[in-house]
Structure 1
Amino acid sequence: MEKVPYRSIPDMLRHSAAQYQTLNAVEFRKNGQWVTLSYAQFYNRALMVSRGLRKLRMKPGDRIAILSENRAGWIIADMGILCGGGVTVPVYATGTPDQIAYALSSCEARIVFVSGKVQYRKLLQVRDALPHLEHVISFERFLGEAALPVTTFYQLSEVDDPILDTERAEIDSVIDSLTPEMPATIIYTSGTTGTPKGAVLTHGNLVFDVWATLDKVGGVGQEDLFLSFLPLSHVFERSVGYYLPLSCGAAIAFADSMEKISENMMELHPTIMVCVPRFFEKIYSRIYEAVHQLSLFKRKMFRRALAVGRSYVYARYIDKYVPFWLSFQHAIADRLVFSKLRSRFGDRLKFCASGGAPLDREINEFFWIIGVPVFEGYGLTETSPVLCSNSYNGLRFGSVGTPLAFTEIAIAGDGEVLARGPQVMAGYYNDEAATKEALVDGWFRTGDIGRLEEGFLYITDRKKDLIVTAGGKNIAPQPIENLLKRDKYISQAYVYGDRKPYLTALLVPTLERLLEFAQERRIAYHDLEDLVVHQPVIELYKSRVEAVNNELAPFQTIKKFALLPRDFTMDSGELTPTLKVKRQVISERYRDQIDHLYNGSES
């Protein structure tokens, strides 16, 4: 791997703007039409934001927050902040007013970018808790209130006034002064295990992680289009889905919404996507539902194609040798089956990156088999985020790959994964005690449990999520939950059993399948709360859980379960923005149901 050529994120963008001037950098929907910004235009817009912030007395090191859903304005604002030497503090748009106030107060943000009136009203609710807040800048136009005046993004940028040579020179001097050790962002952890902490990532952390990830994965360049839909507030999308493509001349297109990803894939024909496991779980389930509707002959053909595809993938990417006969069989399977499945992704998808939570091994294999490679990786907010990744040249299903260059992974005596490398954070903002607890002798304590085999890292669970039963068994809940979610009747699952004699589960039915079952059995019901307690439905799920139990050791099996009438959601606070389960929230919210599973009659 060559030496990282950039000192900071703005330095990287400045190089890209000069090298890829006329190439598309950003694509987004505006007034029903797709609009593009070239690299030169994008950089110029960032400079305009930086100029506007300087007029608001932003100084290098000032913390500037962005409270917005994904949009082009988000990344223009971010680059404008960084070009002026500021520190970007992303805040999840799904956050409650109190959560937002905590982050803004902690970092003492003077200036906040908001997407529009919805986020602005959250600030109004907690105005008294934000004594440092001086300016609100909105991407959308609306009238603010006297207690909290609003400036529009357009007004701040003064888009109609070209950047003067003197202004460009002033900003260039700031960019030149940025060093790898300087903070670029403070990202507050999602708080799945406690109070959020602000991870301070430096320019050097982020630039290295982008450069090393690009070197690891390979094959990304000017012809590529990234479809962006994960929250930019999360470091995974920010680093791999935003900074990385802008480092190598690729383009970023912002999806209209999570609900329209399938439609956007067909419109835009992306080549690369950054995803979380839930995305693949849903597509996998839909494909198998469609297969279930096929004739017996076509179902047999599908299963045969999968068997050939699995052999081909292992031969090509793991054994590194494909016999001619297997290559021939695969070509037929690809033409008859796999190519039709790939067309759902827009025909050009080269690969996806998966992170944020464990991806079920069988689902991962399936996507490789149909010709949509999924590079499962591993990292945390505190590590910018990528520590390890699978790739074409190094692939082991079930693992999260091998470490990036100059990155060390070790396993502590209790099984905890330790990491050391240039991407590890400087520390937690204004929290020396938490920093000392996380960073010990140069090693970052990840809080995850794992093992190393032939250089590949396998994550088994979160250290704090391990269930210790009354019988003393240590059980990782996530693999069991993944098995349950693979069932077509189960959308989401939560396994419980800490200090209890056996495991129980809360199951969220797949609504379409459950309603279909109710119609077939002619079950009369008033609403979903009524439907999930009907005896035929309970018996159905008993059989589905029993099928999963047959794949588990006796001490891992689910003895009792409860069906919930609604999904876990971000809005309800039960999921993080990357769709990971907040175990503490769910265990508290459904305490009565869980207690009943241990005190009441068996399901």
Structure 2
Amino acid sequence: MMSRTILEFLDESVKKYADRPFLYEAKSGSEYTSLTYRQVQEQSKQFAAGLLSLGVQAGDRIALLSEGKNNWVIGELGILHAGAICVPLSVKLESEQDISFRLNHSETRMVLASDQQIAKLRRMKNAFPTVEQYILLDEEDGIEKDELLFDTVIEKGVQALTQNPLFLDERIQGVTPESLANISYTSGTTANPKGIMLTHSNYVFNAEQSVDHIKGIPSHFRTLLILPWDHSFGHTAGIYSFMKCGASIASVAMGKSPIEVLRNVPKSLKAINPHMMMSVPALAANFRKNIEAGIEKKGKRTATLFRKALKLAYTYNKEGFNKGTGARFWMKPLLSVYDRLIFSKVRQSFASNMAYFIGGGALLDIELQRFFYAIGIPMYQGYGLSEATPVISANSAHAHKLGSSGKPLPRM
């Protein structure tokens, strides 16, 4: 398989899916708007040209500290078009020590930050001696002298490209498959965080492996990317795998605080009605809790029926790969009745398009796997390491065993 850059990867998708929606975002309420593949590429190039106008050099490190949103993707792709290296950081970082270690260790020159995150950074800027500029992803009044709005950088890029349409070309041509794309920091729970250096080809190759492993993602599929976008799982399995296939990514509707964003998840689910989602155990457990609470509200009769249906489904499904084998084959007609009476209604109330989850990030309790498999939204567990960009193995609709981490990806 030919090595390619993320920029070439994007270009291939734009040629195939130019006018298909790539990114969905809701800035207020649950009213989503979308950007097409063509628009995302155009804006990322404009942002890159703006970065060059600000003096960004090939190989410069630019950090990205934000909740998931359109400008997260456009910002990262812009950084890469500028020949720079993205340093994505977790929004869960709170202490000056945690943030300053990563910014100083990576020798970051600029930081892209959301409104929530810049409020955190302003009180500790003196701890980041290498940082020269902060670019705000959201509209904001009263910005400080070392801050610029994202749209201002875009405007600088548009002006530069209008004066010279080839302004960006040489920088793009200097990006190779072995160029660093990302410095991804580990959590640092046992020692100082490690900065994992990942190349363009690392991301492209793992995204293609992941897509091939699940036998493709239809271009009409949408996902609601609830996981942190800086996390290598969401980064590769979400953003780049969907980008390869012309499919669509939605962020959770924006809020003024992390709690408000979390509360927006149910209405975002309804608005986007995703076809598949990435999940971690804590999120899966919360989904189950909400589903069961909804069942209990419908009364004792419905709750009793649901528990009987679950018990039968657990027995019929066994470990997934061997469901309905042997004498259990005769349970299928009754299970079909239960599915029509109750499981189908659960799926309808949760997200009627949902085909499956991909689970990772930590061990997924087998009871959770059995539950979601029973209601008809399987949760296929995988395994990965940040150093592997990150997916190593995963279950899929075509080959799965509940309780396992699945088969290795092709060409692993």
Tell me the TM-score normalised to structure 2 length.
0.90
Cα distance, 1:158 vs. partner? 1.0
Say whether the 8 Å CA contact 1:112–1:136 is kept in structure 2: yes
Cα distance, 1:162 vs. partner? 7.4
Matches of 2:32 and 2:319, distance apart in 1: 42
Q: Describe the shift of the 1:203–1:12 C-alpha distance in structure 2 as closer, same or farther (beyond 3 A).
A: same
Greater displacement, 322-331 / 392-401: 322-331
Tell me what 2:15 maps to: 18
Matches of 2:48 and 2:232, distance apart in 1: 22
Say whether the 8 Å CA contact 1:310–1:365 is kept in structure 2: yes
Q: Describe the shift of the 1:324–1:364 C-alpha distance in structure 2 as closer, same or farther (beyond 3 A).
A: closer
Tell me what 1:399 maps to: 404
Tell me what 1:192 maps to: 189
1:124 aligns with 2:122: yes
Aligned 1:332-351 pairs, distance under 5 A: 332-351=337-356
Q: Describe the shift of the 1:265–1:295 C-alpha distance in structure 2 as closer, same or farther (beyond 3 A).
A: closer
Q: Describe the shift of the 1:293–1:202 C-alpha distance in structure 2 as closer, same or farther (beyond 3 A).
A: same
Q: Describe the shift of the 1:320–1:244 C-alpha distance in structure 2 as closer, same or farther (beyond 3 A).
A: farther
Structure 2, unmatched stretches of 5+, are: 254-260
Tell me what 1:447 maps to: none
**Largest Rg, 1 or 2:** 1
Say whether the 8 Å CA contact 1:354–1:377 is kept in structure 2: yes
Structure 1, unmatched stretches of 5+, are: 408-603
* More strand by percentage: 1
Say whether the 8 Å CA contact 1:66–1:112 is kept in structure 2: yes
Cα distance, 1:231 vs. partner? 1.2
Tell me what 2:248 maps to: 251
* More helix by percentage: 2
Q: Describe the shift of the 1:85–1:330 C-alpha distance in structure 2 as closer, same or farther (beyond 3 A).
A: same
Which of 37, 40, 56 is the equivalent residue of 1:39?
37
Aligned 1:323-334 pairs, distance under 5 A: 325-334=330-339
Cα distance, 1:21 vs. partner? 0.7
* AA aligned opposite 1:254: S
Aligned 1:130-141 pairs, distance under 5 A: 130-140=128-138, 141=140
Tell me what 2:148 maps to: 151
Tell me what 2:373 maps to: 368
Say whether the 8 Å CA contact 1:228–1:252 is kept in structure 2: yes
Matches of 2:345 and 2:97, distance apart in 1: 47
Matches of 1:167 and 1:326, distance apart in 2: 69
Tell me what 1:526 maps to: none
Cα distance, 1:245 vs. partner? 0.6
Matches of 2:144 and 2:159, distance apart in 1: 31
Which of 240, 252, 257 is the equivalent residue of 2:237?
240
Matches of 1:296 and 1:158, distance apart in 2: 60
Cα distance, 1:319 vs. partner? 5.6
Say whether the 8 Å CA contact 1:26–1:251 is kept in structure 2: yes
Tell me what 1:51 maps to: 49
Q: CA RMSD in A?
A: 2.4
Say whether the 8 Å CA contact 1:318–1:395 is kept in structure 2: no
User: CA offsets per residue over residues 350-389 of structure 1, 9 Å max, x none?
Assistant: 1111111111101111101111011111112222111110
Tell me what 2:387 maps to: 382
Aligned 1:113-512 pairs, distance under 5 A: 113-116=112-115, 118-140=116-138, 141-146=140-145, 149-158=146-155, 161=158, 164=161, 169-256=166-253, 257-291=261-295, 297-314=301-318, 317-318=321-322, 325-407=330-412
* AA aligned opposite 1:101: S
Tell me what 2:257 maps to: none
Cα distance, 1:314 vs. partner? 4.1
Say whether the 8 Å CA contact 2:216–2:245 is kept in structure 1: no
Greater displacement, 226-235 / 316-325: 316-325
* AA aligned opposite 1:327: K
Secondary structure at the aligned position of 1:94 is classed as coil
Tell me what 1:502 maps to: none
Tell me what 2:100 maps to: 101
Q: Describe the shift of the 1:303–1:122 C-alpha distance in structure 2 as closer, same or farther (beyond 3 A).
A: closer
User: CA offsets per residue over residues 285-323 of structure 1, 9 Å max, x none?
Assistant: 333445556666544432332233234434873368698
Tell me what 1:486 maps to: none
Tell me what 1:73 maps to: 71
* AA aligned opposite 2:58: P
Q: Describe the shift of the 1:166–1:224 C-alpha distance in structure 2 as closer, same or farther (beyond 3 A).
A: farther
Secondary structure at the aligned position of 1:226 is classed as strand
Say whether the 8 Å CA contact 2:269–2:350 is kept in structure 1: yes
Matches of 1:302 and 1:319, distance apart in 2: 20
Q: Describe the shift of the 1:362–1:121 C-alpha distance in structure 2 as closer, same or farther (beyond 3 A).
A: closer
Matches of 1:160 and 1:133, distance apart in 2: 21
Say whether the 8 Å CA contact 1:262–1:344 is kept in structure 2: no
Secondary structure at the aligned position of 2:411 is classed as coil
Say whether the 8 Å CA contact 1:229–1:258 is kept in structure 2: no
Percentage of pairs with the same residue: 32
Tell me what 1:91 maps to: 89
Query: Could you say which structure has the greater relative contact order, defined with CA pairs below 8 angstroms and 6 or more residues apart?
Result: 2
Tell me the TM-score normalised to structure 1 length.
0.63
Say whether the 8 Å CA contact 1:98–1:126 is kept in structure 2: no
Say whether the 8 Å CA contact 2:221–2:275 is kept in structure 1: yes
Greater displacement, 39-48 / 274-283: 274-283
